[in-house]
Amino acid sequence: MSTFQAPKGTYDLTPPRSATFLAVREAISAPLRDSGYGYIETPGFENVELFARGVGESTDIVTKEMYTLTTKGSDQLALRPEGTASVLRAALEANLHKAGNLPVKLWYSGSYYRYERPQAGRYRHFSQVGAEAIGTEDPVLDAELIILADQAYRSLGLRQFRILLNSLGDKECRPVYREALQTFLRDLDLDEETRRRIEINPLRVLDDKRADVQKQLTDAPKLRDYLCDACKAYHEEVRALITAAGVVFEDDEKLVRGLDYYTRTTFEFVHDGLGSQSAVGGGGRYDGLSEMIGGPELPSVGWALGVDRTVLALEAEGVELDLPATTSVYAVPLGEEARRVLFGVVTELRRAGIAADFAFGGRGLKGAMKSANRSGARYTLVAGERDLAEGVVQLKDMESGEQTAVPL
Ligand code: AMP
């Protein structure tokens, strides 16, 4: 071990586990790529204001968890704590919404940073694959995204996840509910911090995990009773569409999510094998976000699935992904001359598109064959002086164990 270790709350992805991460990213993005979503990549940091305005000044993400920095040029930046605000910023900047082809459907994959208290499944650096559909208000779009996330998890073999669904109302009905909730909450016996939360983000109080708080919330006004007719109809349509697709979900009135920009549809994917950090992904509609960051009105919907927690979920369910071996042919030279010749063969194979690897370092036959086995290669090429003198190499089929001499 060196003097240095990965910073607190982070970990390295190393083989062989790293292959699972790649496969998970691939599996989550595949349904998106097949559904008209184009790839977008944005910087790992943004102007801090983007998140303050977009994600919300009252959220934990912005007040407590953001990695902020001042550059030598006095710019105030933040490592991105989430993807949606950046993607929308980039789409607006590139005028993608003006190309006359709404919704703009985008997918992304990358690293995100939150200064959280590290624990199992909660890291300071984590990885998400996300999707955003920008510029269209259509319940079919909300349904599409939920169905595609469900498809992604299923394609990985996950079964023990649940989909929680809620509607947060819109700019007409949510403020009315917010006020009714505040009036109710102000009369409760709550600590100072929670009392402050009532004033800036009362819906988050519903999310409080403490039993004594939850007990007082039994008779809290329900958002459902305040939804306007348009929001109700919209939500019913989303529910009907995902039901028709055979996707099972649970209505969860308490689902508010930790970001301020959500309106109407909100959803979360939870996995029952993960303990307290059970959310493997989440998302929803954010009809007001574009205007909040200075853009035009662009009703949008999206989600982000956590790659780290998806891998943990696979491990919790005991799902082993069927990852094909990366090496097809492994070359084992015995002696100097064979090294040169077989390395030439390996180079030729690679150029012909056949994945090949080589026993480096002049090891003996036994150690080299161990490496060949570990590589998962279907065939091993072995050659010593005598083989070369005869103009052959030994081709070993690693499945049957059969070995045949083939001409070089
Ligand atoms: P959020 O933007 O908070 O809704 O996060 C979306 C998904 O990203 C979550 O469901 C998690 O799977 C993942 N995620 C968020 N924060 C973390 C974290 N600190 N560590 C690991 N995964 C995270």
The CA 52 to ligand 1 mean position distance, Å, reads 18
- Would you say the C-alpha torsion 211, 213, 215, 221 has a positive or negative sign? negative
Query: What is the distance of C-alpha 62 from the center of its chain?
Result: 20
Is-contact 76 51, C-beta < 8 A? no
Q: Tens of pLDDT along 252-301?
A: 988 887 666 788 999 999 999 999 899 999 999 999 999 999 999 999 99
Q: Are 285 and 267 in contact (CB under 8 A)?
A: no
How many angstroms is it from 81 CA to the middle of ligand 1?
9
At 347-368, the pLDDT tens digits run: 999 999 999 999 999 888 999 9
Is 260 near ligand 1, meaning CB less than 6 Å away?
no
**Ligand 1 atom 4: the closest Cα is on which residue?**
282
Q: Does ligand 1 lie within 6 Å of residue 239's CB atom? A: no
Is pLDDT above 80 for 329? yes
Residue with tokens 């624990």: 119
Please name the residues in contact with 299: beta carbons below 8 A apart, sequence gap of 6 or more. Answer: 135, 136, 137, 285, 287
Res. 206 pLDDT band, cuts 50 70 90: confident
Instruction: State in Å: Cα 3 to ligand 1 middle.
Output: 30
* Dist. CA 131 → ligand 1 center (Å): 14
From ligand 1's centre to the CA of 88, what distance in Å? 19
Overall average pLDDT of the 64-76 stretch: 95
- Same fold across 17-168+229-317 and 329-407: no
* Predicted TM-score (pTM) of this structure: 0.93
Fold of 329-407: Rossmann fold (3.40.50)
**Encoding tokens for residue 102?**
């709404």
Cβ atoms 111, 11 nearer than 8 A = no
Q: Chain-wide mean pLDDT for the chain?
A: 94
Atom of ligand 1 lying closest to residue 128 CA: 8
User: Model confidence over 391-402: pLDDT tens digits?
Assistant: 999 999 999 999
Q: Say if ligand 1 is within 6 A of residue 123 CB.
A: yes
At position 287, the amino acid (one-letter code) is D
What homologous superfamily does CATH list for 17-168+229-317?
Bira Bifunctional Protein; Domain 2 (3.30.930.10)
Q: Residue 309's closest CA among 158, 165, 207, 166?
A: 158
Atom of ligand 1 nearest to the CA of 114: 19
Indicate if ligand 1 lies below 6 Å from the C-beta of 106: no
How many CA atoms are closer than 13 Å to the CA of 294, on its beta-carbon side? 9
**Ligand 1 geometric centre to CA of 389 (Å):** 61
What are the angstrom distances between the C-alpha of 272 and each of 99, 129, 275? 42, 21, 7
Domain locations in the chain?
17-168+229-317, 174-226, 329-407
Higher pLDDT, 70 or 256: 70
pLDDT (0 to 100) of residue 62? 84
In contact, 270 and 316? CB cutoff 8 Å: no
